[in-house]
A and B are shown apart, each in its own frame.
Chain A
Amino acid sequence: MKVAVLSGKGGTGKTFVAVNLAYANKNSVYIDCDVEEPNGHLFFKPVIMQKTDVNVQIPVCDEYLCNGCRKCVLFCEFHALAYIGSKLMVFDKICHSCGGCEIICPQKAISEKNKTIGHYEYGYSGSIMVKTGILNTGETSGIPIIKQLLKDDPYNTGKDIFIDCPPGSSCSVIESIKDADYCVLVAEPSIFGAHNLQMVHELVKLYNKPYGAVLNKCTDGKNPSADYCQEASIPILESIAFDRELGLLNSEGKIAAQESEHYSKLFISLLEKIRLGVEK
């Protein structure tokens, strides 16, 4: 099964839940799609065995063939091209690699070359395959990296896969949950948390995915997120109590299900509930 773990914003414990689920499941694949700020590897500390660059295609212009007609500049919806002093300038960070300029050029002056925007790493941490994507600082879209990370390969075959999504509900989150069998929505019990939960809830509904919520850092006080779950009929898979010890474990990059009997049991039971949800 493929389980995507997501949350409306960062800091809710999304990585904590994804990492511990992957750990408790054993023999699983953990994929960190939060390519802007990948943190799962800080917990798993995998031994990296493969590191691969991720490239996108960007245009290059042959000055001798270019006749300065500017059709490509006018065509580019992203304004990634400019024509200055009889030379075409390409702004690769803005380019979406659509290939339109190459098609429109009447002189066949434009071709494409590879540009590296980041990389991904594969490595084992015990029995867990850890895949991490890293976007280079200053690059704007991690989607090409996420696509590579989620591609089927021999490491995935027959394994349960846990996807740590980017925070929020942007296009990169959609890319991360596209093929998931189940979505786990992680939220804090504050009014902020409830509002953010509502946003990811709208997203998973849009994509018709089965889902359930994990409420993290719960205290005895009000729980607006639990209220929202009830209102919107979201099954609450687990409520994890606020725990200073846990906060310390997390802050030091330790896996709670490995360190503590209590959390080991909690995540094994959470896995069972997810499995039931997938089968439904």
Chain B
Amino acid sequence: MKQLLILSGKGGTGKTTVASAFIALSKAEAYADCDVDAPNLHLVSHNDETYSLKGFYGLKKANIDPDKCISCGLCYTHCRFGAVIEGEKYIIDTNSCEGCAVCRLVCPVNAVTMKPNVVGDLMLYRNEKRVFSTAKLHPGNGNSGLLVSEVKKQMKDNAKKDTAFAVIDGSPGIGCPVIASLNAVDMVLIVAEPSLSGFSDMERIIKTARSFETDIMLCVNKYDINTGITEQIKQLCEKEDILFAGCIPYDSSAIYAINENKPVTDYDGKASDAIKQIYVKVFERLLDKV
């Protein structure tokens, strides 16, 4: 199964818009949303059937048994994360606890236990034609690298054996979730945006993707917002030897489509036409590749 990953560096560039259009155009049999901090793909590429839900566990977190606690304060002095709250009986602020277990180590009366901790949910939508794997982290949890790996694994495990390709909506940023989403993909399509801030983020994401030695293509969304920077992006692609897949113009019908819970390409318009052309280029390359 060939895996196409769609990435952006900066958020809000239209990554999910492009991903949902590709899923619709290719009639993808397997797809996933790896933006586990703020998953959106289900809003536009969602299967009607019910889904299965599985809790996702992060590192265990400390818990102090008030009956055993002798209020000696050793846990408080040793915790480097400010996660122990002083009082008559000491308690753990689970939002600050990083699960290092130092408090358990130093407690002289074994009052501390490490408790399993659900940090998010894994969801799988499926019918005879396709599987869609996605997940959502609960607020305040940042353990998304492993969850991204789980989302991709869930997609792969549940896809039919003869599935030719999968489309993956990646995570924004350059951190751990992005690296996890890059793992084992065949091609990356970067959706860039012509702005100063978008430019530096794009350079960083190219650097990260490069280190995985996958094939990289790039397209510019809302290119007409600043044609000067769009030109600079094209030049960068040439310099870096990245295949330029095309430009998508700003088009209000794109917003209209999304608000109707539909992929952009379900409607006619400038953006829709451009995405269709980019789709052909990207998929020809993805599926021809050995």
> A232 to nearest B CB, angstroms?
15
Cα–Cα, bound, A168→B40 (Å): 13
| Nearest A residue (CB) for B198 | A251
Cα–Cα, bound, A192→B38 (Å): 9
Contacts of B139 in A (CB 8 A): 169, 199-200, 202-203, 206
B100 and A78 contact, CB distance less than 8 A:
yes
> A92 to nearest B CB, angstroms?
15
B142 interface neighbour in A11, A171, A247, Cβ under 8 Å: A171
A96 and B100 contact, CB distance less than 8 A:
yes
Contact with A along B1-37 (1 / 0, CB 8 A): 0000000011111001000000000000000000101
B10 and A192 contact, CB distance less than 8 A:
no
Counting CB contacts under 8 A, is A224 at the interface? yes
Counting CB contacts under 8 A, is A9 at the interface? yes
Contacts of A222 in B (CB 8 A): 256, 259
Cα–Cα, bound, A199→B258 (Å): 19
Contacts of A97 in B (CB 8 A): 80
Counting CB contacts under 8 A, is B204 at the interface? yes
Quick one: given A8-B38, A77-B101, are A251 and B195 in contact (CB under 8 Å)? yes
Question: Which stretch, A34-42, A61-69, A268-276, touches the partner chain B?
Answer: A34-42
> A45 to nearest B CB, angstroms?
11
Q: Which of A8-62 contact B (CB under 8 A)?
A: 8-12, 15, 36-37, 39, 42
Contacts of A104 in B (CB 8 A): 105
A37 and B226 contact, CB distance less than 8 A:
no
Count of A-B contacts with CB under 8 A?
155
A100 and B100 contact, CB distance less than 8 A:
yes
Quick one: given A199-B38, A251-B195, are A37 and B201 in contact (CB under 8 Å)? yes
> B64 to nearest A CB, angstroms?
17
Counting CB contacts under 8 A, is A190 at the interface? yes
Cα–Cα, bound, A98→B196 (Å): 38
A75 and B105 contact, CB distance less than 8 A:
yes
A10 and B10 contact, CB distance less than 8 A:
yes
A192 and B172 contact, CB distance less than 8 A:
no
Cα–Cα, bound, A141→B142 (Å): 9
Contact with A along B81-100 (1 / 0, CB 8 A): 10000000000000100111
Cα–Cα, bound, A39→B250 (Å): 23
Quick one: given A99-B102, A169-B139, A251-B226, are A11 and B174 in contact (CB under 8 Å)? no
Cα–Cα, bound, A8→B101 (Å): 31
Contacts of A248 in B (CB 8 A): 225-226
Contacts of B261 in A (CB 8 A): 191
Contact with A along B133-149 (1 / 0, CB 8 A): 00001011110100000
Contacts of A224 in B (CB 8 A): 259
> A139 to nearest B CB, angstroms?
9
Counting CB contacts under 8 A, is B255 at the interface? yes
Quick one: given A10-B11, A39-B197, A96-B100, are A190 and B255 in contact (CB under 8 Å)? yes
Counting CB contacts under 8 A, is A239 at the interface? no
Interface class of chain B by DSSP: loop
Counting CB contacts under 8 A, is A159 at the interface? no
Counting CB contacts under 8 A, is A219 at the interface? yes
B105 and A171 contact, CB distance less than 8 A:
no
**Counting chain A CB atoms within 10 Å of each CB, which of B35, B59, B81, B197 scores highest?**
B197
> A107 to nearest B CB, angstroms?
16
Cα–Cα, bound, A267→B2 (Å): 48
B225 and A244 contact, CB distance less than 8 A:
yes
Counting CB contacts under 8 A, is B285 at the interface? no
B255 and A251 contact, CB distance less than 8 A:
no
Quick one: given A169-B37, A192-B40, are A221 and B256 in contact (CB under 8 Å)? yes
Quick one: given A100-B101, A103-B105, A195-B40, are A36 and B140 in contact (CB under 8 Å)? no
Cα–Cα, bound, A141→B143 (Å): 11
Counting CB contacts under 8 A, is A132 at the interface? no
Cα–Cα, bound, A58→B36 (Å): 29
Contacts of B229 in A (CB 8 A): 251
> B270 to nearest A CB, angstroms?
15
Cα–Cα, bound, A205→B204 (Å): 34
B102 and A42 contact, CB distance less than 8 A:
no
A98 interface neighbour in B13, B100, B140, Cβ under 8 Å: B100
A103 and B102 contact, CB distance less than 8 A:
yes
| Nearest A residue (CB) for B13 | A11
Counting CB contacts under 8 A, is B286 at the interface? no
B11 and A167 contact, CB distance less than 8 A:
yes
B99 and A11 contact, CB distance less than 8 A:
no
18 further A-B pairs in the complex, CB-CB below 8 A; given A98-B102, A167-B172, A171-B140: A9-B40, A11-B12, A15-B197, A39-B197, A78-B100, A104-B105, A140-B175, A167-B38, A169-B37, A169-B38, A170-B137, A170-B141, A172-B142, A190-B259, A191-B258, A195-B43, A222-B256, A222-B259
Query: Could you show 17 A-B contacts with beta carbons less than 8 Å apart?
Result: A9-B11, A42-B200, A75-B105, A77-B101, A78-B100, A97-B80, A98-B102, A99-B102, A137-B174, A167-B38, A169-B139, A191-B43, A191-B258, A200-B139, A206-B140, A221-B252, A247-B225
Interface residues of A (CB under 8 A from B): 8-12, 15, 36-37, 39, 42, 75, 77-78, 96-100, 103-104, 137, 140-141, 167-174, 188-192, 195-196, 199-200, 202-203, 206, 219, 221-222, 224, 244, 247-248, 250-253
